[in-house]
Amino acid sequence: MQVETVLLYVLGVVIVAVGIALSIALHEIGHLVPAKLFKVRVGQYMIGFGPTIFSRKKGETEYGVKAIPMGGYISMAGMYPPQRKGGKPRASGTDAFVAEAEYEDAGRTSSTGFFQTLVQDARTASAETIPEGSEDRVFYKLPVVKRVIIMLGGPFMNLVIAVVLFAVVISGFGTQQISTTINTVSACVLPATSDRQKCASSDPEAPAAAAGLKPGDTIQSIDGTPATSYAQTSKLIRSSGGKELTIAVLRDGKPLTVKATPTLSEQSVADAQGQPVKGADGKLVTKKVGILGFTWAYELQQQPLTAVLPAVGNNIGQDFHLILNLPQRLIDVAKAAFGSGARDPNGPVGVVGVGRLAGEVAATNSVSLSQRLSTLIGIVASVNVALLVFNLVPLMPLDGGHVAAALWEGIRRFFAKLFKRRDPGPVDAARIIPLTFAVVIILGGMSLLLLYADIVKPITL
């Protein structure tokens, strides 16, 4: 049994790892396809970084896989304009790492000076140059709209993947929703204001227990009103304090009818998701309602396709909020990793952490196989949302940084034309390579912190 658990753990990690790798590959295809359509010369399409494990050249583009599976890139000619008039446009790459190939003048002398060295490091030399006749097939000469389309192609692909996978999870497998099935039956009914959590021998028996209701019973109707949902059925019971109800249930596939009278009790007000509502003072909002003394069970319920986009939108909003508060979140991660505190389960997590969660999900025998598979698909869907949001951050070398540079160029040219001034020319994004270098260092540090935290203080199920 132990061997089976280990194999399931490994299988979960592999499933999510393959899903993320395919997501990265499709992200880069999102850049590659419009770049090819707009006739930009693409030298490389690579998954991973570091030494090349496998590659094959088709036409002018080399397609391959590299040793470090931490992302991917396409290398486009002329993402940065030349530094001097008549200079050759230089290639660079997409996404959170600089490209590992570029195309420059043969015999070019090495750069000198700190900032020039940073630029050169960001545009690592390539073995081939841009062929004669391809000088106009460069990224920076494209209209602003086309450049934005190319750079947003990757995040858009992640959005499409996320929508498809969330549709599979939400409308295919279903999501955990409060059902009309009874989960537990209480021995007594305690008001929300009670200091006690356990029933005393002097407490009257709960109406549900007195009526003979049992865990697993599914309520079919109350006083002839069909039980269509948790919210509708709960509202009917809570509004019937002191009134005897005829409750039709299904027990082990057989219909059964019982009579029970909800007792009036001071209970917390619940929202549509069944969660207690708190007032402005932070205290529970309570009122007297009818209570039978049982809790509702959760079960997988397929949702309509109309629920998919709101779910994706909610996930995007959560990731944006996380990024906006990222400095504080990382401080919290560091405090937990190097201290005695626990990790925030809703905080940032690294690649190792995602893998551990995937393994735990797959090895959990307390839930069905379909639920485990649904959760693994949901993890890959959430990672795609994270890739979408992260790449939209308007900082080089992320996709959002290139989009911001293109839009700034468009704004400059618009006002130059409006005021009949000389065309200011393309924005030389290479000038902010030092900032790009700093961003890469910060991202690297963040990755190392999350890696350490995921090992010594992992987030668990």
Nearest-angstrom CA–CA distance, 4 and 7:
5
Nearest-angstrom CA–CA distance, 71 and 77:
20
- For the question of residue 100 being annotated catalytic, the response is no
In contact, 387 and 376? CB cutoff 8 Å: no
Residue showing tokens 């029970």: 260
Nearest-angstrom CA–CA distance, 385 and 160:
10
Based on the number of CB atoms within 10 Å of its own CB, is 447 exposed (0-12), middle (13-18) or buried (19 or more)?
Answer: middle
130: number of CA atoms within 13 Å, CB side?
A: 25
Nearest-angstrom CA–CA distance, 141 and 406:
11
Nearest-angstrom CA–CA distance, 30 and 28:
5
| Burial track 242-259 (b if 16+ CB lie within 10 A, e otherwise) | eeebebbbeeeeeeeebe
> Using the 8-state DSSP alphabet, how is residue 111 labeled?
P
Active-site choice (28, 62, 360, 409): 28
284: number of CA atoms within 13 Å, CB side?
A: 13
In contact, 321 and 293? CB cutoff 8 Å: no
Backbone φ and ψ for 456, nearest 5 degrees, come out as -90, -25
Q: Cite the active site residues.
A: 28
